[in-house]
Amino acid sequence: MDFNLSEEHIMIRDAARDFAQNELLPGVIERDENQKFPTEQVKKMGELGFLGMMVDPKYGGSGLDAVSYVLAMEEISKIDASASVVMSVNNSLVCWGLETFGSEEQKQKYLVPLAKGEIIGAFCLSEPEAGSDATSQKTTAFEKDDHYLLNGTKNWITNGNNASVYLVIAQTDIDKGHKGINAFIVEKGTPGFEIGPKENKLGIRGSDTHSLMFTDVKVPKENRIGEDGFGFKFAMKTLAGGRIGIASQALGIASGAYELALKYSKERKAFGKEISKHQAIAFKLADMATQIEAARHLCMKAAWDKDQGKNYDLSGAMAKLYAAEMAMDVTVEAVQIHGGYGFVKEYHVERLMRDAKITQIYEGTSEIQKIVISRSVLRD
Ligand code: CAA
Ligand code: FAD
C-alpha cells in the first residue's frame, strides 16, 4: 500500500490549485451574488484540460486517471463549487458516458469537442416526478421512420443553458419499464427543444440549472447510445462515477472552509489569546481535520477502484454519502469559528456552507446512497 502521490499527481493538484487561486477566486463572491455563470473561467478550464481529464488523448482528452480527477476536483471546489460542478458533469457524466458507451461516430462528433472543452455537455435524467425514483421516466421517445420523437420535461439540469450537447434519458417502450428506457444525444437548437428560466438557488449559484422542455423533437436514430433498452443502465453506470466527482466536490468545499477557519482561528483574539487556543475551538478543528481526512481516503479509494478496473458502485456511494454529510458539518463549524464574520459574504465560509448543501441532494441524495450501500452490503 502506498499513500504517496506520484510526481504527476502533485503536478496536477498544484496546477488546479494555481488555477483556482488565480482564475476562480477573483470575482467568486460577485458571481455567486449575481448568479453569473463562470463563462471565461470554464473556457480556461477547457484549455488546461480539466474538462476531459480522463478521456483518451485520441479523443481530445488529457488521458489522466481518476485519482488525478479527485485531486483537481478538490482544489477547484475549495474555491468555486459552481465551476467544479460544470467540470464534474462534463467529465464524469457526459464525457465518460460517451467514451465508454458511444459509437465511434458519436465520439468523433461529440466527445472530441466536449473533451477539449470547446463545448460543454449536460446530463438529463431528473424530471418533475422522477428524481430519486429515476425509473419513473415520463419523457418519451417513440420510434418514427428514421428518428425518435422526443416529448417531455427534464428538471434541474446543470449546464442547462450553456451546454451544446445533452444526454437525455427517455422511455421508449412503456410496457418494458426500466428495460424500455434509452439514452439519446440531443443538440441544442433542435426544433421543439426549449430551455426554461434559470433556477434561483441557495448554493452553487454561478452554475446554471434549468428545466428543459421537448415537444416533438426529432432525434436521429444514430443518436441513441448503446443497444435498445440500455438507457437506464447507462444512467446508473454513469452516475456511479459521477458520485466520485461529487464526493470530491464535497471534500473540496469542506477543506476550503476548514483552511479558512484554521487561519482565522490563529488570527482572531478573544479573552486575551487567539481563539485557536480555546479548547472548544481547537477541538472543532481537530474534528474537522479528521473528518476531511476520512472523506479524502474514501474518495481516493473509490478513484483507485475505478483506475484498477474494479467495481466502484459501493466505494463511490460511500465516498459521496460520507463526504456530503461531512461537508455540511464542517462548513457549519467553519462559520461558527468565524463568529459574526462568518455570516457575511467577504469571508467566503457562508457561501461554502450554502454550496455544501447541494452535495447531499444531487447525483443521488444521501438517502439514496444509503439504499445503494445497504443493498450492496446485504447482498454481499
Ligand atoms: N450499474 C448497472 N446497473 C444498475 C446499477 C448500476 N450501478 N444500479 C442499478 N442498476 C440496474 C439494476 O440491475 C436493474 O436492472 P435489472 O432489472 O436488469 O437487474 C435496474 O438498474 C433497476 O435497478 P433497481 O431495481 O435497483 O431500481 P430502483 O428503482 O430500486 O432504483 C436507485 C435504484 C439506485 C434508487 C436509482 O433509481 C437511483 O440511483 N436514483 C437516484 C437518481 C440519481 O442519482 N439522479 C441523479 C441525476 S444527475 C445529477 O444529479 C447531476 C448533478 O446533479 C450535477
Ligand atoms: P425526491 O426524489 O422527491 O426526494 C425528496 C426526499 O425524499 C429526499 O430527501 C429523498 O432523499 C427522499 N427519498 C426519496 N425516495 C426515498 C426512499 N426510497 N427512501 C428514503 N428517502 C427517499 N438531475 C439531472 O438529471 N441532471 C442534472 O444535471 C442535475 N443537476 C442538479 C442541480 C441542482 C442544483 C439540483 C437541485 C438538482 C439537480 N439534479 C439534476 C436533480 C437531482 O439529482 C435530484 O434533485 C435528486 O436526485 C433528488 O430528486 P428530487 O429532487 O425529485 O427529490
**Domain spans, the chain:** 7-120, 122-231, 236-378
Nearest CA to ligand 1 atom 8: 236
Closest-lying ligand to the alpha carbon of 200?
2
pLDDT band at residue 187, thresholds of 50, 70 and 90?
very high
Of the candidates 74, 87, 51, the one whose C-alpha atom is nearest the C-alpha of residue 253 is: 74
Is 2.40.110.10 the CATH classification of the domain at 122-231?
yes
Residue 363 appears among annotated catalytic residues = yes
Cα–Cα distances in angstroms (integers) from residue 283 to residues 248, 286, 287, 324, in the given order: 24, 5, 6, 21
pLDDT in tens, 303-335: 999 999 999 999 999 999 999 999 999 999 999
DSSP single-letter state for residue 344: S
Distance of CA 75 from the midpoint of ligand 1 (Å): 29
Nearest CA to ligand 2 atom 22: 367
- Helix (H) or strand (E) run with residue 218 in it: strand 209-220
Q: Does 176 contact ligand 1 (Cβ within 6 A)?
A: no
Averaged pLDDT for residues 201-230 = 98
Is the CB–ligand 2 distance for residue 126 below 6 Å? yes
Q: What number of residues does the chain have? A: 380
Dihedral (CA of 261, 266, 267, 269) sign: positive
Give every CB contact of residue 302 below 8 A, 6+ residues apart in sequence: 66, 243, 244, 247, 312, 315, 316, 318, 319
Q: Is 295:254 a contact under the CB 8 Å cutoff?
A: yes
pLDDT at position 26 over 90: yes
Determine the residue of 126, 166, 236, 365 to mutate for testing ligand 1's pocket, defined as the one with the most ligand atoms within 8 A of the Cβ atom: 236
User: Measuring CA to CA, how many Å separate 200 from each of 94, 95, 215, 377?
Assistant: 24, 27, 25, 38
Q: Is 125 touching ligand 2 by the criterion CB < 6 Å? A: yes
Please, which pLDDT band fits residue 2 given cuts at 50, 70 and 90? confident
pTM, 2 dp: 0.98
* CA atoms 210, 216, 217, 220: torsion sign: positive
Collapse the DSSP code of 80 into the 3-class scheme (helix H, G, I; strand E, B; otherwise coil) and give the result: coil
Tell me the three cell numbers of residue 69.
Answer: 480527477
Provide the 3-class DSSP secondary structure of residue 198.
strand
Label residue 380 by pLDDT band (50, 70, 90): confident
**CATH number of this structure's domain 236-378, picked from the four choices 1.10.490.10, 1.20.140.10, 1.10.10.10, 2.30.30.90:** 1.20.140.10
Question: How far apart are the CA of 235 and the centre of ligand 2, in A?
Answer: 14
DSSP H or E stretch at residue 269? strand 269-270
Q: Is 237 in the pocket of ligand 1 (CB under 6 A)?
A: yes
Candidates 1.20.140.150, 2.160.20.10, 1.10.540.10, 2.40.10.10; correct CATH number of 7-120?
Answer: 1.10.540.10
